[in-house]
Structure 1
Amino acid sequence: MIGRARPEQDDAEDQDRHMTRRLKKRVALVTGGSRGVGRGIAARLASEGAAVALTYHRNADAAVDAVADIESAGGAARSYPCAMTDSESIALLVDSVRGDMGQVDLFVSNAGHASRGRAVIDTEAAEYLELLQVHVLGPLELLRLVLPDLRQADRADIIVVSSVLTGQHAPNTAPYTIAKSGMEAAARVLAKEERQYGVRVNIVAPGLVATDMGERLVTAAHGSSISEVGSAFPFGRVAYPADIASAVAYLASAEGEYITGQRIEIDGGGQPNLFG
C-alpha cells in the first residue's frame, strides 16, 4: 500500500483550498509541464493565480489535457513544444511566451528523463552527453534568455527540480546523477550571482514520486510496482506530484521571500534506496 490514494474529488478539494492567489499576476514557465511532477507544478501555480506556460517535448495530447485541466479549474495556461537539445526550439519558446503571456518572472526547470540504468563500465559517452544537454546545458541556455525578464521583475524566482539521487550516488544511475548534480551546482552559483538583481534561486529534490517515470524506475529496479513498494516508505507512501508542487509554490510566494540558494529534499525525511 502507498497509503490512501488521491481520488479526483480529493484533488479538486485540494485545488480549492489552494486558491489563495498568492501568485496573481505572475507569469510562470514550467518545462516538462505536461506530465508527472511538472504537470502537478503547473496546475498548482495556476491555481494560485499565475499564468502558466508549460512545455512538452513529444506528447502534444498530454499538453492539451494539462492545459484543459488548468482552464477547467479556473486557471490560465498555454502549452509550447520545446526540446532542450535544440537551440532554435528554445529561442522560439522564449519569444512565443513573451508574445503570448508577457515577461516570465517564475522559471521552473523540470524537463528531463532518466538514464538507462546501466553500470558505469557499460555506459557510453553519448548517454552522458545526452543527459547533460537535457538536464543542464539546455535549461541553462533557456535560462540565459529569460534572465533579463527575471532581473526586471518586481519578484523573480528560479526553481530547479532535481532528485535525492544526487546525494545517494546509487549504482546504475551515473548519467542521471551527474546531470542533476551539475544543474544543482549551477543553481547554487546562480543564487549568488543573481541575488543582487532580486532573483531567488532554489532547488527541490524529490524522492520517488508516483508518476509514469517513477513506475518505470521501480519496475526496472525491482520488477514490482509503486503500490507494492510504497509501504516501505516514510508515512506509508511515496511522494505525489502535489507534494513537490506545494514546495515550489511556497518558494515562489511571499512566504518564501527570504529564501535563496537552498535545497529542499521531499522524500518524507529519508526514503529507502531502491537501487542498492
Structure 2
Amino acid sequence: MSEFNGRKALVTGGSRGIGRAIVRRLASDGADVVINYNSNESAANEIAAEVRGLGRHAVIIQADVSVQKEAERLANESIEALGSIDILVNNAGIGATAVGRPHVAEATPEDFERLMAAHAFASHDLCRVLVPQMREADRGDIVMISSIAAQSFGPTGGTYAAAKAAMEALAFSLAKEERGNNIHVNIVAPGLIETDMADMMVKFQGRVTDSIAELADESPFGRLGSPDDIAGAVAFLCSARASYITNQRITVAGG
C-alpha cells in the first residue's frame, strides 16, 4: 500500500512508543519521514533503518521541542532535509509523572511551565514554522497526539490535563483558520497505551509490577491499547479516506 507516496512527514518523539509506531505506519504507506528524538539516538537509528528498509527516505534530527529555538531548528532542518513537510505529527511530550503528579494547589509554576512547554508551546512553535510552507502543498495534515486526560480531569493530573487541553485548543482554532488552504488539523486522544510511559505512570501510582497485565484483563477488549492502534488512527486522518475530515478529536481508548 502506498497511499502516502510523495508525502513528507515530521513525527516528533518518533524514536519510541507511539511515535515509533506512527513513523513505521506512515513509511509503510509510502511517506518519507523525519524522525525527531530528544535523547535516545540508538532507538532513532533503529526505526530509521526500518524506514529505509521499506524503501523510504528517513532523517533523524535531535531536538528538545519544549525549547523554542530547538523546535524552530527542527522544523527548518526538516524542510531542508526533505524539501517540504506536509504531514506534522505533534507527538513528543512528557507524562504527568515527570513533575510528580502534584495536586493543583501544590504544583509549582515551574511544573506547569514544563508541561505547557512540552505540549502546547512545542506544538505552536512547530506549526508557526511549518504551516506557511504547508499552504503551498496540495494537502497538509497536522495531527496532535493529546490524551483522554484533557477531558477526564482526574485528581493529581490537573497541570498535565491543562497542557493537553491547551494543545487541543490550538488544534481546533488552527483547523478553522487553515481549512481554506486544504490543511487538515485533527486530534488523537489515546487512553492507556502499552508503552514505557504508561508503565511508569502505573508504577508511580503504587500498582504492583504486573499491573499493566492486570489492567489489560480489566479492559473491555481484554487488552490495553497498543501504539499501532494510535498509528492507525493517525494514518487514517492523513489519508484520502479522511479528505472531508478536519477539526475532529478521535478518542482511542477502548471505550
Fold match (TM-score > 0.5): yes
Residue deviations 1:46-87, cap 9 Å, x none?
000000101111111111112122223443321101112323
In structure 2, the residue matched to 1:100 is 81
Task: Return structure 1 stretches of 4+ with deviation > 4 angstroms.
Answer: none
Distance in 2, Cα, partners of 1:226 & 1:48: 31
Task: Map 1:111-190; keep pairs closer than 5 Å.
Answer: 111-115=92-96, 116-190=100-174
Deviates more, 1:223-232 or 1:169-178: 223-232
In structure 2, the residue matched to 1:241 is 227
Distance in 2, Cα, partners of 1:180 & 1:88: 21
- The one-letter amino acid paired with 1:95 is N
The match for 1:55 among 36, 47, 57 is 36
* SS of residue paired to 1:194: helix
Distance in 1, Cα, partners of 2:138 & 2:47: 28
Deviates more, 1:220-229 or 1:157-166: 220-229
- The one-letter amino acid paired with 2:122 is G
In structure 2, the residue matched to 1:258 is 244
Q: Which runs of 5+ in 2 are unaligned?
A: none
* SS of residue paired to 2:124: helix
- The one-letter amino acid paired with 1:98 is I
In structure 2, the residue matched to 1:27 is 8
Task: Map 1:175-254; keep pairs closer than 5 Å.
Answer: 175-224=159-208, 225-254=211-240
Distance in 1, Cα, partners of 2:109 & 2:70: 24
TM-score by length of 2: 0.95
Residue deviations 1:11-65, cap 9 Å, x none?
xxxxxxxxx1111100001011111101110110000000010111111111111
Q: Which runs of 5+ in 1 are unaligned?
A: 1-19, 270-276
- The one-letter amino acid paired with 1:246 is G
- The one-letter amino acid paired with 1:257 is S
In structure 2, the residue matched to 1:86 is 67
Residue deviations 1:101-128, cap 9 Å, x none?
1110001000100122121222111100
TM-score by length of 1: 0.88
Deviation at 1:215, TM superposition (A): 0.8
